[in-house]
Amino acid sequence: MFIHGLGADASSWVFQLQALCQAGYRPIAVDLPGFGKTPHHGAHWTIRGVAYLIRKFLQECTDEKVIVIGHSLGGTIAQQMAIDYPEIVAGLVLVNTFSHLRPHHASEWIYLLRRGLITTFRGPAAQAELVARRVFPHSQQEWLREETVKRILAADPIVYRSAMMELVRFDSRKQLGALKMPVLVIRGDQDTTIRLEDQEDLIREIPQARNITIPGAGHAVMVDQPANVNQSLLEFLDTIPGWQHE
């Protein structure tokens, strides 16, 4: 089960879906409520509430346990699923995400404040452009910036703001030690959105968590370095009893 990040959708995982299908697995990627093609209905959007909805969806699809793979916002939802519903999570892969988001440097505070102010006073288009340039800063990534802006603007703006606030409030540190399933943490060493030090709690607090840091990869590591991410995923799956592919 692949869970995308803030302002993205299921297409974030296109390279991973192809690789896992070719290896004989059955990958699923969803558009979170309010993103992509999934509308948001009902009450306030919360990480715990979305984790519950994904659990319900999985129960309709299969009686088997699943490997949950989450990027950034999706990584917080994946953690919440592992904490609340460990009986259905066979393994966990956390990609450029965190347990508790607290900027360590002035530049990080400025970036978060700019996002909030721009979203409030200049609208979603300006905020989308800011995020796209942060995630894909290189000149050869122009088409990726354009696609990122499109996906952010396609998101429900109320849900987007709610999700941002949920990320600020999220704190799983006290629950990480209770996770018993295999866990892989994948990090890009050039991630300027969730820096390496912001992800240290995941490695330090989760029992026997494995860590792979991919050189030259930014926040969207699964797009920056798909071959390395795919290899890491397949090697990790081979270590989980019952998940080895032929």
Query: Does the residue 163 lie in any domain?
Result: no
Work out how many domains the chain is built from and give that number: 1
Indicate the pLDDT class of residue 24, thresholds 50, 70 and 90: very high
Query: Does the residue 157 lie in any domain?
Result: no
Three-state SS annotation for 122-152: CCHHHHHHHHHHHHCCCHHHHHHHHHHHHHH
Q: What is the pLDDT of residues 157-182, one digit of tens each?
A: 889 889 988 998 999 999 999 999 99
Could you give the count of Cα atoms lying within 13 Å of 191 in the half-sphere of its Cβ?
25
Q: How far is CA 93 from the centre of its chain?
A: 9
- Least Cα distance to 191 among 80, 86, 94, 119 occurs for 94
Which domain does 6 fall in, by range?
Answer: 2-104+170-237
Identify the bridge partners of residue 211 per DSSP, sorted by sequence position.
185
Dist. CA 120–CA 116, nearest whole Å: 6
Dist. CA 104–CA 125, nearest whole Å: 27
Query: Does the residue 122 lie in any domain?
Result: no
Q: How far is CA 100 from the centre of its chain?
A: 14
Indicate the pLDDT class of residue 245, thresholds 50, 70 and 90: low
Query: Does the residue 118 lie in any domain?
Result: no
Query: Does the residue 124 lie in any domain?
Result: no
Residue 201 corresponds to which tokens in the numbers above?
Answer: 């709690």
pLDDT for 106: 56
Looking at residues 80-102, what average pLDDT do you find? 95
pLDDT for 121: 46
Query: Does the residue 127 lie in any domain?
Result: no
Looking at residues 71-82, what average pLDDT do you find? 98
Asked if 225 and 217 count as a contact pair (C-beta separation under 8 A), the reply is yes
CATH number of the domain where residue 186 is located:
3.40.50.1820
Q: Considering only residues 172 and 133, tell me which one the structure prediction assigns the higher pLDDT.
A: 172
Cα torsion at 31, 28, 212, 244 (round to 10°)?
170
Dist. CA 40–CA 165, nearest whole Å: 16
Name the residue type at position 103. Answer: P
